[in-house]
């Protein structure tokens, strides 16, 4: 039994190497990562929150998921080089976190749809009617749109990202983004026009 133990314990020099190899990593780390993350949170918490909800994270999980996103930011903030938009980066992380929540809690999520919890929106009371209507209209529109178009539309029209930012964040071709955006815009206008007709 002892003989078929694969290999032995590494020599001391290797262990020394192990310790030494960690030192450069330590030095490259920004000391104020936590402060940076808080700044990013203050500036973009709403964006991340919306992105997570948009991507189907259950209402009850959204707060946790938001924290999760910013914990990832905290871990990776040193890896993030100013390569473009911070929001594109945040959205990429949000997508991963959202996928996790959707997968892990799919069953729970389904249950929760029955007893949807109160969303933590700014307007705790009743929204003004035109605002409530806007929420209903846009939510219904996004829900009826294919996921791909809805994501692009949301990021550009609601969040104000540029098409190149969206392309980078989704990892798709810029022309693809423009194509999806054009279609989504057309549909949105169409839907509004139909609504207007119905109201007449």
Partner 1 sequence: MTDPELGQQAREILKRYRSAESLGSDARARMLGGLRAKIAAGTPALGAAKSSLLSRVATAGKTKLILGALAVAVPAAWTIHRSQSSVDYTLRTATPSVPAAPAVTAQPESEREPKAPAADPYGSATAWEQLDVAPELAAPEAEAPASEERRTAKRSASAQRTPGATGSNATTGSNATTPQAVVLEEKAEESPAEAAPTSTLDREMQLMKRAQVAQAAGRPTEALSILAEHAKQFPNGKLTESREVARVIALCQAGQAQASRAAAERFLSARPNSPFANRVRGACAGK
| Span 4-33, contacts to partner 1 by CB under 8 A | 4-7, 9-10, 12, 14-19, 21-23, 25-27, 29-31, 33
Taking CB under 8 A as the criterion, the residue among 52, 57, 66, 88 binding partner 1 is 66
Residues 117-136 that bind partner 1 (CB under 8 A): 120-124, 127, 130-135
Least distance (Å) between residue 27 CB and partner 1: 7
C-alpha–C-alpha distance, residues 129 and 193, integer Å: 20
Please state the closest distance from residue 15 (CB atom) to partner 1, in A.
Answer: 5
Q: Answer whether 36's CB lies under 8 Å from 77's CB.
A: yes
Smallest gap from residue 114 Cβ to partner 1 (A): 21
**Number of Cβ within a 10 Å radius of residue 147:** 12
Provide the CA 67 distance to its chain's centre, in angstroms: 11
HEC assignment per residue over 34-62: HHHHHHHHHHHHHHHHHHHHHCCCCHHHH
Residue number, 148 or 187, with CB nearest to partner 1: 187
């Amino acid at each position: 039994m002892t003989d078929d133990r694969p290999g032995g314990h590494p020599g001391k020099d290797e262990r020394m190497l192990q310790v030494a190899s960690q030192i450069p990593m330590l030095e490259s780390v920004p000391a104020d990562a936590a402060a940076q993350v808080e700044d990013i949170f203050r500036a973009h918490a709403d964006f991340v929150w919306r992105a997570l909800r948009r991507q189907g994270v259950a209402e009850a999980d959204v707060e946790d998921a938001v924290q999760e996103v910013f914990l990832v930011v905290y871990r990776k903030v040193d890896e993030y080089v100013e390569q473009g938009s911070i929001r594109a980066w945040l959205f990429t992380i949000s997508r991963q976190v959202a996928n996790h929540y959707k997968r892990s809690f799919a069953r729970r999520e389904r249950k929760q749809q029955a007893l949807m919890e109160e969303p933590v929106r700014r307007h705790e009371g009743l929204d003004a009617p035109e605002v409530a209507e806007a929420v209903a209209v846009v939510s219904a529109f996004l829900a009826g749109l294919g996921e791909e178009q809805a994501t692009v539309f949301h990021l550009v029209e609601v969040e104000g990202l540029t098409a190149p930012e969206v392309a980078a964040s989704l990892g798709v071709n810029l022309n693809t983004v423009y194509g999806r955006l054009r279609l989504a815009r057309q549909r949105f206008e169409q839907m509004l026009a139909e609504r207007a007709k119905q109201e007449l």
